[in-house]
Structure formats: structure tokens, C-alpha cells
Structure 1
Amino acid sequence: MSWLLKSSIGKKLIMSVTGIALILFLLFHAAMNVTAVFSEDAYNTICSLLGANWYAVAGTIALGALVAIHFIYALILTLQNRKARGNDSYAVNVRPKNVEWASQNMFVLGVIVIGFMFLHFSQFWYKMMFVELMGHHEVALGGAVVSPQDGAAFIKYYFSQTWVVIAYLVWYVALWFHLSHGFWSAIQTIGWNNTIWMNRWKVIGQVVATVICLAFAFVTIYFYARHYFCLGA
């Protein structure tokens, strides 16, 4: 078991498994958000089910642990790689042929993704689940008072602000690059690849990343456009 925590391949395996788990969560989250476009009541029902219930709290803790483990091991591997390169790490960084840009910038992309997660948590999780956990049933939102389970109200409020929309769209771009490379890289580390399937996994990774990020972007742009072109509806 110690090899899993100490060896380079063990650390990469942990990163791969946690990464795949986070991708599955993002697929669920994206599908949940799209629901708000077609039925705000259905979206609020989901928010109610995922409120301060014990299973939702347990899931949130597990999700936080996955993110923390994924980031910590990414940081460890990045520092180890730089140490191994020694003086070469200060040389001019020329991207080798057939090496993707995302591959060379996965850690930076990950930092951007996690950085924006704090913005997302402060706008949604903190004012929804956390408020409920504190025993409150109302929360101030843009001069109004709403229920922390009224997820549609939060989406409509935040995605009506231009700076928020721009920030989230930048986030989605960084997320796409991170996921499109991370997916097939995780599959490769786990060992589910061969000369035939490697290119297929790369395509599947790009499709999965595109579906997730387009779904998020669609919801963001939809509510922004609806606010400004449908009289603030």
C-alpha cells in the first residue's frame, strides 16, 4: 500500500482516480444546471434534495476531499518533476513536437479552475447549503430575500451580471483544456489504453469536456440573455 502513496506511478494513479470521479460529478452538475433552463421548479426540487440533508452534506465533504487530494498530489508531482529537471527548469520552455499545450500547463490550468471554485462556492454553496446548515431559512440576494433552496433565483441573479458571466466563461475555457487532456491522461495511467484505443480515448475526452463546458456555458449565457432581452425575466 505504501507504493501507492510514495511512488510516482502511485501518485499518478491517485490523481487519475480522483480526476475521473470529479469528471463524473461535473457531468451530473452540468445536467442539473441545464434543468434550470427548462424547469425552474424541477431545478429547485433538486436543490432542495441536495440541501442540508445528511447525504448531501456527506457528498459535499467527499467532493471536497477529492478536490483536495487531486490538487495536493498534482502539487507534489509538479514539484518533484521540477526538482528532477534541475537547471533545465530554467531553460527556455520550448514545447516538444506532439506534446499538447494543455499537457504542459495542467497545473496552471488546475490552479485557475480551483481559484474560480472559491468564487462559485461563495456565490452558491455558501449562501445555499451552508446557510441551511446554520439553521437559516432566508438569505439576502441582491436586495431581495429568498430561500436558500431557491437555486433558480441564485442563477438568475448572478448570471445577470456581466463581470460574473465573463469570469465564468473564462473558467469554462480553462476547465475544457484541463478536462480534455486530463481525461485521456487518467485513462492512460490506469492502463485502459493500447495503440488502437489511445486516439479514441483522446476523442472521447474532448467530447466529454466539450459536453460539460458547453452545458455550463449554455446555462450561463441563456440566463444572461434572458435577463437583458426578456425584460429581466
Structure 2
Amino acid sequence: MSNLFCSSIGKKLLMSLSGLFLIIFLIVHLAINLTLLVDKTGETFNIAANFMALPLIKFGLQPVLGLGFLVHIIYGGLLTAQNNKARGNNKYASGNGTKEVMWASKNMFILGLTILAFLGVHIADYWVPLQITHGAAEVTIDGVTMHDTYALVKANLQNPVKAILYIIGSLGLALHLTHGFWSAFQTLGASNNIWRKRWTVIGTVFAWVINLGFIVIAAYFMLFS
């Protein structure tokens, strides 16, 4: 088993599985974040954020999510190094024949670094004050005292510099997904000449719909709140 995960196929398999896992997280994350626009009082978002802070989530799912990010980052770096050694600057040869994702295919490592930097900012802005320093304000909803995560998000995104950083991070993630989405299904064997084109279209639409959602949220708080 260890030999499998050390092989090129094994590394790509772990990249694909961890990537699809993180895609599910993105869907859930956006669904919760969209409540920021639906309920201007912030109560719905705070209740959802408080649920995500329950011990089962905090000590169960959060470590699994962290492991998913770690696996994706580590194996992404290993595959990039392997591709650089084998093909020079032609990092993702499998993407070269697909015009729609050509730039993303050849620049996955750069996009990955952009997303990693964005993740670091996100952790510093939210996870640290909510989970480590407990510096966020508190609010009581229906008799339950919880972090006022809505106020924290609003304060961060009202800062134009931070809002623009989030928009740039979302754009980088969208480009990353335009390649990563179809590539994951191809690695898992759920692709052929017909489905390769279909996964490419589906992945591109998915990537931009998801990330335009995040961009709209950041732009709204920066410009209108």
C-alpha cells in the first residue's frame, strides 16, 4: 500500500481524492457564507458558525479537513517537482491539449501558492481569533452565547485591502479548479474522450459559479455595508 502512494499513480490518486473532498467543503462553505447576504442581522450566519464550532465538528471534522488540505498541498508539491524533473516547464502535459484550461494546466503550482497564501490569510483572520485567541466579540441568540462571527466577517471585508485579497484568492481558486476538477475524474477513471470534454465544461462552470459567489460576498461588504 505504501508503495502505491509513493508511485506517480498513487500520488495522483491522493491528489484527486483530497481535491474532491475539498470541493465538497467549498460547496458547504459557500452555502453557509451566502446566509451573510440573505439575513442582514447576521443571526443565521452566527448560528451556522456556532454549529460548526461544536466539539463533534471542531475535534472531528476540522482535523479531517486539515488533513485533506495537508495531503493536497504535499502531494501537489511532490507531483510538481516530479513533473518539472521529467518535463521541464511542461508541468501538466495532460492539460496541453485542452485550450479551455491550458493556462491553468501549466500554472497549477503558481495557482496553488496563491491559494495557500489566501488560506493563510483566512486562518489568521478567522480561525485564530475564533479558535485560538478568542478575540472575537460575543452575541446571544435565543439564549445561547456564541462568537459574533458575522461582525468579524463584516469588519474584515469592509477593509478594502482584505476584501481585494479575498477576491484575488477566489479568482486563483477558480482557475485552479478549472483544471483540477476534470483532472480528478480523469485520474479516477471516470473519463474518456467524450466525458473529458463534459467534465471540462462542468468543472469550468462549477469553478466560476462557486468562486463568483465568494467574490460577490467580498464585494458586497467592501462596497455596500
Q: Which residue of the partner structure matches residue 175 of structure 1?
A: 173
- How far apart are the structure 2 equivalents of 1:5 and 1:165? 39
1:113 to 110, 115, 126: 115
Shift of 1:218: 1.2
Q: Is the 8 A contact 1:102 1:181 kept in 2?
A: yes
Higher relative contact order (CA 8 A, sep 6+): 1
- How far apart are the structure 1 equivalents of 2:54 and 2:131? 5
Shift of 1:125: 1.0
- How far apart are the structure 2 equivalents of 1:202 and 1:46? 33
Q: Which residue of the partner structure matches residue 143 of structure 2?
A: none
SS of residue matched to 2:147? coil
**Equivalent residues in 2 for 1:44-83, closer than 5 Å:** 44-83=46-85
Q: Which residue of the partner structure matches residue 23 of structure 1?
A: 23
The amino acid of 1:38's aligned partner reads V
The amino acid of 1:63's aligned partner reads L
Q: Which residue of the partner structure matches residue 216 of structure 1?
A: 214
Shift of 1:74: 1.0
The amino acid of 2:79's aligned partner reads L
Question: Of the two, which has the highest radius of gyration?
Answer: 1
Q: Is the 8 A contact 1:52 1:129 kept in 2?
A: no
Q: Cα gap change, 1:97/1:49 in structure 2, threshold over 3 Å: closer, same or farther? A: closer
- How far apart are the structure 2 equivalents of 1:89 and 1:182? 18
- How far apart are the structure 1 equivalents of 2:180 and 2:98? 16
- How far apart are the structure 1 equivalents of 2:18 and 2:45? 27
The amino acid of 1:6's aligned partner reads C
Task: Provide the identity percentage.
Answer: 38
**Equivalent residues in 2 for 1:92-171, closer than 5 Å:** 98=98, 100-131=102-133, 136=134, 139=135, 145-146=137-138, 149-171=147-169
The amino acid of 2:12's aligned partner reads K
Q: Which residue of the partner structure matches residue 203 of structure 2?
A: 205
- How far apart are the structure 2 equivalents of 1:153 and 1:37? 13
Provide, for residues 201-233 of structure 1, a one-character-per-residue CA deviation record: whole Å limited to 9, x for no partner: 111101111121011111111122222xxxxxx
Q: Is the 8 A contact 2:177 2:203 kept in 1?
A: yes
The amino acid of 2:71's aligned partner reads I
Asked whether 1:186 is paired with 2:184, we answer yes
Normalised TM-score (structure 2): 0.87
Shift of 1:43: 0.7
Instruction: Extract unaligned runs of 5+ from structure 1.
Output: 228-233
Provide, for residues 175-224 of structure 1, a one-character-per-residue CA deviation record: whole Å limited to 9, x for no partner: 11001110001011101012221111111101111121011111111122
The amino acid of 1:182's aligned partner reads G
Q: Is the 8 A contact 2:96 2:106 kept in 1?
A: no
Q: Which runs of 4+ in 1 moved over 3 A?
A: 95-99, 145-148
Q: Which moved more, 1:49-58 or 1:201-210?
A: 49-58
- How far apart are the structure 2 equivalents of 1:26 and 1:98? 25
- How far apart are the structure 2 equivalents of 1:123 and 1:89? 35
The amino acid of 1:161's aligned partner reads N
Q: Which residue of the partner structure matches residue 37 of structure 1?
A: 37
The amino acid of 1:185's aligned partner reads S
Q: Is the 8 A contact 1:15 1:69 kept in 2?
A: yes
- How far apart are the structure 2 equivalents of 1:96 and 1:45? 45
Provide, for residues 83-110 of structure 1, a one-character-per-residue CA deviation record: whole Å limited to 9, x for no partner: 224xx559xxxx9664501001101101
